[in-house]
Amino acid sequence: MDVAQRVTRIPPYPFREIAALKAKALQAGQDLIDFGIGDPDQPTPTHIIDAFAEEIRNPEWHRYDETGFGDRELRAAISRFAKRRFGIEVDPESEIQVAAGSKDSLALINWAFVDPGDVVLVPDPAYSVYRVNAIFCAGTPFPMPLLADNGFLPDLSAIPPTVAKAAKVMFLNYPNNPTGAVAEVDFFQEVACFAREYGIVVAHDAAYAQVAYDGYEPPSLLQVEGAKELSIEFHSFSKTYNMTGWRLGWSWGGAEIVGALSRLKSNVDNGVFLALQRAGVAGLTESQKCVADLCAMYQRRRNLLVDGLHSLGCSVAKPKATFYVWAPIPKGYDSEGFARALLVECGVLVVPGAVYGDHGEGYVRFALTIVADDAEARIVEAIERMRDNLELEW
């Protein structure tokens, strides 16, 4: 049986391969310290679970969500959150789209704006969904290198004018996966000017905007005056409230862009379970102490890991946001080879940077979401295993 060419043109989803390596190590009885996939190890806050448990009994929510854009009460809560957190105005009736997490909307935004042959500007390294779905709809991904010398921000001046004129969508992701880098409002102003000049839709993945440290608050692209009309920004409950398996998120932006996404989305699915959307209302409107506590926990883990890597001779900055540490590899390895050595010799699982793109080579990604009774002790143990079992020089 011949599958469609679009399937043969894309690589396997990288985290499926990593999950297979993890399963093999565990089957062999290896004591694995897992810094691999970024999936929160803490439970969903109790007040969200309780809200869902109550709402699920309401037969009114057992039917289709016929609004198209998502439950009005949730959209109203999202609009209030936009004002409270970022100081921006977002119309709940026309500028917000509820979704099953952010991944599906990140995929569908390509289908809403990209025709065969159109260019899609994609950061490199990056989450694979941006590039893969550009390929799915016969677009042409054009890489924007994220380099340490530029703070892992794309150099927009390096994009050839001929490419910019052919581009329909630009993907950004700050705070950034996998690098942990952040972008400030002045960079977003530069992006808005560039997008306006070339007529490009900016698709900003802001899934980690609430996971930040040392008092830092990542900005929204929509804080730039006039940016809303030419952009769409994707947010998620997954990382903020430990709800990756629940599948709930939203996008906000210009009414025309959100409307195009919604029109496409309504032909793909029938919306998110309404009881779950009401649980999302509880997440956004009740106490945010759970978020502060979560960030404090990740900050402790970040400090232990980065300080430990420093003790091995690895020069790596402490990220201001996300739960990732993007570490340069030691001499004598490529990223895959170093990840394999850590797994085989140390029982430490990390993600090789090369799976995120050509410019991810030279790095590995540590996720701070470690499933363990004492995750902090396991971080210390991972550093000691590296010290004891490998000759490392940076």
Shared-domain flag, residues 234 and 263: yes
Question: Are residue 195 and residue 261 in the same domain, yes or no?
Answer: yes
pLDDT digits (tens, 9 = 90+) for 175-192: 999 999 999 999 999 999
Whether 30 and 151 map to the same domain: the answer is no
Whether residue 265 sits in one domain with residue 116: yes
254 and 296 share one domain: no
Token pair belonging to 161: 């004018």
Give the Å distances, CA to CA, from 209 to 19, 22, 320, 321.
Answer: 26, 29, 11, 8
Q: Could you report the per-residue pLDDT of 131-147, keeping only the tens digit for each?
A: 999 999 999 999 999 99
The predicted structure's pLDDT at residue 14? 61
What pLDDT was estimated at residue 25?
A: 77
Q: Both 270 and 164 in a single domain? A: yes
Please, which residues have CB within 8 angstroms of residue 125's CB and are 6 or more apart in sequence? 146, 178, 179, 353, 356, 357, 359, 360, 363
Is 394 contained in some domain? no
Residues 176 and 154 in one domain: yes
pLDDT at 13 over 70: no
Could you tell me if 62 and 151 lie in one domain? yes
Number of domains in the chain: 2
pLDDT tens-digit readout, 53-99 = 999 999 989 988 878 899 999 999 999 999 999 999 999 999 999 99
| 345 occurs within a structural domain | yes
Does the structure show a pLDDT above 80 at 18? no
Q: Are residues 92 and 210 in the same domain?
A: yes
Last residue of a domain, one of 285, 309, 338: 285
Q: What pTM, to 2 d.p., does this model score? A: 0.95
Task: Quickly state the pLDDT bin for 160 (edges 50, 70, 90).
Answer: very high
Answer yes or no: is 112 within a domain. yes
List, as one string, the DSSP characters of 28-70.
Answer: TT---EE--S----SPPPHHHHHHHHHHTT-GGGGS--TTSS-
- Encode pLDDT of 20-59 as tens digits: 777 877 788 889 999 998 999 999 999 999 999 999 999 9
Q: Is residue 29 part of a domain?
A: yes
Residue 1: pLDDT band (50, 70, 90) is: confident
* 341 assigned to some structural domain: yes
What confidence score (pLDDT) does residue 24 get? 79
- For residue 211, being part of any structural domain is answered with yes
Whole domain around residue 280: which residue ranges?
Answer: 46-285
Are 32 and 173 part of one and the same domain? no
Res. 225: pLDDT tops 90: yes
CATH number of the domain residue 234 falls in: 3.40.640.10
Q: What is the pLDDT of residue 3?
A: 80
